[in-house]
Structures are given as C-alpha cells and as structure tokens.
Homo-oligomer: A and B are copies of this chain.
C-alpha cells in the first residue's frame, strides 16, 4: 500500500460579524499530511517539518484526527498509520493551521484505509482533534474540509451550510511578526453580550452573507463589523487599528481579525487586493510592527489528495 498525501487549505474564521460561525478556505497556503500503513496498530508521527510541532500523537492534531478516524471506523486495534506532517501554515497565526493539520490527518487516514466514513464523520474526527489543542469549534475545520465559505450553525451534530462567494471578491491576509495564543484570545470574550449587540451582530452577518453571494461590495462594506469579539480583543493586537485604517483607505471592503489572530483578513474586490496588501503592511510598519501579506482567492475545493 502506497503513501497518500493530502493537502488541506488555510482558513479564515470569524470574519467580522461571523464570529464563531463563519469560515472561508483560501488559496496558496495549507498543510500537507502524508500517511502510509504501518505494521503496529495506532498512529505514529514519523516526521514534522517544524521543530515546534509535537510528534507525540496525543498532542499532534494530524495524529489525533487520524486516530479518531481509526476509532470511528472500528479499526483502532488492527490498523497502523505513519504520518509525515508538512506545515505550510504559520503557527498560532489565526490562519486555521491546527484545523488544516487535523483535516489533512483525518482525510489521509480515511484514504489510506479506505474507510466507509462520510465527510461529516471526517469533520467530527477533525473537530475532536482540534478541540485538544485549541477549543471545540468547526468554523475552521468545516471550510478546510469542504472548501468555500460556510456557516456553522451547530456542532452536535455538525450543521454546515455553504455560502457562495461571488467571483468578484478576493481575500488579503497580513500576518504581523508576533503570536497570539487562541486560549488567550478566548479568555477576554464576555460570557454574555448586551441584547442590542446580539441583534446587531445577527443583522450584520445577514448582510455579509447576502453581500458575499450577490457580490455586492457596498453591502459587504456595511456588514463588516463585529459587535462581540473584536472590541474586547483589539488590545491584544498591536498595530491592528493602524493596519485596518490603511487597508480600508486602500479599498478593502472590510478588515477583521482572522480566527484568534494576529493575522488580519481583508475582503476586497479582486483588482484592489495588491494595493490593500501593501497598505496593510504599511499600516503595521507605522506602528513599528513587521508584517507580511498573502493575496488569495477563495479555495472552493477544500482538502484533497495530491
């Protein structure tokens, strides 16, 4: 039995009013997991491309997800897998890296063992794995697995609804040269929110999904406010206000923290993406923060064998 390589794209989650329920897969960056059969039952991590990635299968999201697939398929006592993990996504950046490794691990295990699990089973396996390292949520794993943009309206069972993103719209990412731990970014979230903020968030998210489907730039622009997370999280991200202002001035329709940050994601018309990318980096520079940009499109395919 040969090796199977699975590529899983990076994802932006949260995205303004889509806090904790909207995710989008993007092109150009992702993690690759290579899996092959091993003699011993269980999952081992044979190699990782970055020293900081744990090879302990109980702390590695690719291995955890592969193990969850084995278990769900009833194969944990008989089948053995060896994984090689190649990180294309930066760590603790807010670009869905742990979800991508988990999704790639789950899909690679499924492909090597030819299990009968469904894509939703694979999503559940990836979510279980990601929960060990960064909380139980599917707004990265779901778009990573299925591609495109999705609304995740529930976890038990996973309820994933695709949102079309009009071809006129693209994405720009900018990652400043510091890290923010997901756990730290979640600690500042309020347990309760004022009713008016909850209503405002719902209304803005409705505008955002309509704007994405219709390709209505003005609507996307009016929608891109987060009433829940970003007001509390902003202090965690030095340079964010300056970068955001510069990005909007360069034509971005909206700039938001991607996932738990510190990467920012900008929604922009395709033709303005390069100018927006330059402006975002400049904005950080004005705040004394080094940053690098990534110009992307929506990845409509999702995780795939390569």
> Could you list which residues of chain A lie within 8 angstroms of chain B, going by C-beta atoms?
17-22, 151-154, 159, 161, 163, 189-195, 197-210, 213, 219, 222-223, 228
Contact = CB atoms under 8 A, between A and B. Distances in A.
Contacts of A213: 210, 213
A21 B203 contact: yes
A22 B200 CA distance: 11
Contacts of A197: 198
Contacts of A151: 203, 206-207, 210
B153 A210 contact: no
A194 B195 contact: no
A219 B194 CA distance: 28
A210 B161 contact: yes
A280 B52 CA distance: 61
Copy number of this protein in the oligomer?
2
Nearest to A189: B195
A226 to B, nearest CB: 10
Given A205-B202, A206-B151, A207-B151, A195 B193 contact: yes
Nearest to A19: B199
A161 B228 CA distance: 22
Contact of A198 (B18, B152, B193, B208): B193
Contacts of A19: 199, 202
A268 to B, nearest CB: 21
Given A153-B222, A200-B153, A195 B206 contact: no
Given A202-B17, A204-B153, A163 B210 contact: yes
A96 to B, nearest CB: 18
Contacts of A193: 192-193, 195, 198
A5 B286 CA distance: 61
5 shortest A-B CB distances, which residue pairs?
A198-B198, A192-B192, A21-B203, A153-B203, A202-B202
Nearest to A204: B153
Nearest to A161: B207
Nearest to A214: B213
Contact of A191 (B163, B195, B200, B209): B195
A153, A190, A209 — most chain B CB neighbours (10 Å): A153
A198 B195 CA distance: 8
B195 A161 contact: no
A199 B21 contact: yes
B21 A152 contact: no
B203 A201 contact: no
A203 B203 contact: no
28 contacts: A17-B202, A18-B206, A19-B199, A20-B199, A21-B203, A22-B203, A22-B206, A153-B200, A153-B222, A153-B223, A159-B222, A161-B207, A161-B210, A189-B195, A191-B194, A192-B192, A192-B194, A193-B193, A193-B198, A195-B228, A197-B198, A198-B201, A199-B201, A199-B228, A202-B204, A205-B205, A210-B210, A213-B213
